[in-house]
Amino acid sequence: MSLHITDAFDSGNIEVLDAADPQRIRLEIRKDNGSDFYQWFHFRVTGARGSALSMAIENAGGAAYLEGWPDYRACASYDRETWFRIDTDYADGVLTLHHTPECDTVWYAYFAPYSMERHQNLIAWAQTHVDVDLEVLGETLDGQAMDLLRVGAPGSGKRTIWVTARQHPGETMAEWWMEGFLARLLDDEDPVARVLRDRAVFHIVPNMNPDGSKRGHLRTNAKGVNLNREWDKASAENSPEVFHVLNRMRETGIDLALDVHGDEALPYNFIAGGEGAPNFDARGQELLDAYKAALKTASPDFQTAHGYAVDAPGTANLSVCTNYLANEFRCLAMTLEMPFKDNADLPDSEHGWSPERCRKLGAANLDAMLALVDRLR
């Protein structure tokens, strides 16, 4: 069987320069359409069972986040359900994947992919719960639906919680996190979920960037726009995804907003707040610290020692979701970051940071929300 490499599927991204020699396969990652961002890769190799593959991504040195390559190991799967890590090295601007497949076909990716088909399955499952309403807020530039799940009905004294994920489409761990979050929130046997649904209405956008997800982008929408730099200038022409969501946020108000992401470089789970927003105050700091402490208690996979530098007061970039929401709504707004690599505090040599661990961290966030829900107003 001759060697065959393809990316002709949902979220696929690779260019084949030369595949004549299995031990000297030459590849490149395509840029996000309309931008210079690239780092996400996802491709399939067939016909290499038992052959030692050496696959060199030759333009890795121009990728968006070079700090993401040291100590990184690529993901591989035979069934697209279980993803494991393979030997990977980075030198002289080239990222090289080393693997000997045990099956005829194997998929490789920057992180375990989360397809738009799986997204459809997620919202289809969620909408069958009696407390869930599924609404389309509008369409993306490619004509895909911007799906919103509302969990619970508005009522007197109920808090309003917004949870968004995957503004950057290559950060697929964010939608894996959503699976765990929704599975627990909609579990009628879970007392934490039941109390939260009694005390709050949840507005949930499992995928903020369907176009970038399907196109195999790292960071942008169909037009090459970074959605997490659009919150102070969202438009139907350039960033309809943010435009539609922000319009609904203004209708509902916000008590707590959590935006879920992945970080290429840091091997930790952490939260960044809106400390630098002009309207951020002592109460905001108290709530932010309390949420972090509650999540750290709920999950040993979360920590507070490592993360981003905190903006000085009044200096936050208000084009970023968390900063903008903290400032406009004077709410508890947070960005949750997960690693592409592994959690250095609890490493897993076989899987690294994985879909299952994302799901478990998503579920753990309900404990933190319960700890704060009555303090949000």
DSSP string, 114-159: --HHHHHHHHHHHHTSTTEEEEEEEE-TTS-EEEEEEES---TT-E
CB atoms within 10 A of CB 103: 12
Cα–Cα dist 37/31, whole Å: 6
Cα–Cα dist 101/47, whole Å: 9
Name every residue whose Cβ is closer than 8 Å to that of residue 183 and which is 6 or more positions away in sequence.
359, 363
Q: Where are the beta strands (DSSP E) in 199-350?
A: 200-205, 256-263, 270-273, 332-339
Q: Where are the beta strands (DSSP E) in the chain?
A: 4-6, 15-18, 25-28, 42-46, 53-57, 75-77, 84-85, 87-91, 94-99, 105-109, 132-139, 145-151, 159-165, 200-205, 256-263, 270-273, 332-339
C-alpha Rg value of the chain to the nearest Å: 21
337 in active site: yes
Rounded to the nearest 10°, the torsion over CA 184, 190, 196, 197 is 80
Catalytic annotation, pick one of 171, 241, 328, 337: 337
Cα–Cα dist 3/40, whole Å: 22
Task: Report the amino acid identity of residue 196.
Answer: L
> Can you name the residues that pair with 26 across neighbouring β-strands?
18, 56
Tokens 């709920």 correspond to: 298
Q: Which tokens sit at 189?
A: 């046997």
Which active-site residues does the annotation give? 337
